[in-house]
Chains A and B, each alone.
Chain A
Amino acid sequence: KNQVEQSPQSLIILEGKNCTLQCNYTVSPFSNLRWYKQDTGRGPVSLTIMTFSENTKSNGRYTATLDADTKQSSLHITASQLSDSASYICVVSAPNNAGNMLTFGGGTRLMVKP
């Protein structure tokens, strides 16, 4: 079964600190990996998309890495802000007959405290 596992499940950090979230996946074949940010009660918003040939991608203070050999990805948040408090979801896309199917991880719930 294709799976996406994220760690930690939850994380509390102080404002201004950095943090790194992890994602391991078993989805195969693999098309691309995405990180989404989801505020409570809202839909997910895309942060980055990486294909298997990319090993890093940045979006402002967010930097995602991908190791397609070990099937691992990380999301690094630099100089955290209170507004970074949200769930961060790792999503792996696999090609199928009809199109790309997304498999979502359970998310890491991040809380940034002043």
Chain B
Amino acid sequence: DTGVSQDPRHKITKRGQNVTFRCDPISEHNRLYWYRQTLGQGPEFLTYFQNEAQLEKSRLLSDRFSAERPKGSFSTLEIQRTEQGDSAMYLCASSLGGLAGMAYEQYFGPGTRLTVT
């Protein structure tokens, strides 16, 4: 399977615990995105990387959230001291990128569903 993969698919954790999610993008894609989606809503942008550089972060990304892409390949999203409001689907997407004005297709992974009890 050469698509975007995410692990785990489901995570249940108690409030206050830390969780880490992993995303493996399509191998030749230099851009990687993280989104959060709550039930019945569209995804909301969290952050994005071009290669290993984190180029943009949403205001939604509080200081409890941190994302890394150390070698420009896979990425991790960590949530510290989880709160019930963090319960959501966390989606990862990847794309090619670099040329201004080009509409690069984003390919989404299956998501990690987080439930904070």
Residues of A within 8 A of B (CB): 4, 31-32, 34, 36, 41-46, 49, 51, 89, 91, 93, 95-96, 98-107, 109
Contact = CB atoms under 8 A, between A and B. Distances in A.
Main secondary structure of the interface of A (DSSP, over half): strand
Nearest to A50: B103
B108 A105 contact: no
Given A43-B4, A45-B108, A99-B50, A32 B100 contact: no
B48 A93 contact: no
Nearest to A45: B108
A102 B103 contact: no
Interface of B: 4, 31, 35, 40-45, 48, 50, 55-56, 91, 93, 97, 100-101, 103-111, 113
A7 B100 CA distance: 31
Contacts of A109: 40
A43 B40 contact: no
A76 B26 CA distance: 30
Given A43-B108, A51-B103, A106 B40 contact: yes
A46 B55 CA distance: 24
A21 B110 CA distance: 24
B48 A99 contact: yes
Contact of A99 (B31, B91, B111, B113): B31
Contacts of A102: 45, 106
B113 A105 contact: no
Contacts of A95: 100-101
Contacts of A96: 56
A43 B109 contact: yes
Contacts of B45: 101-103
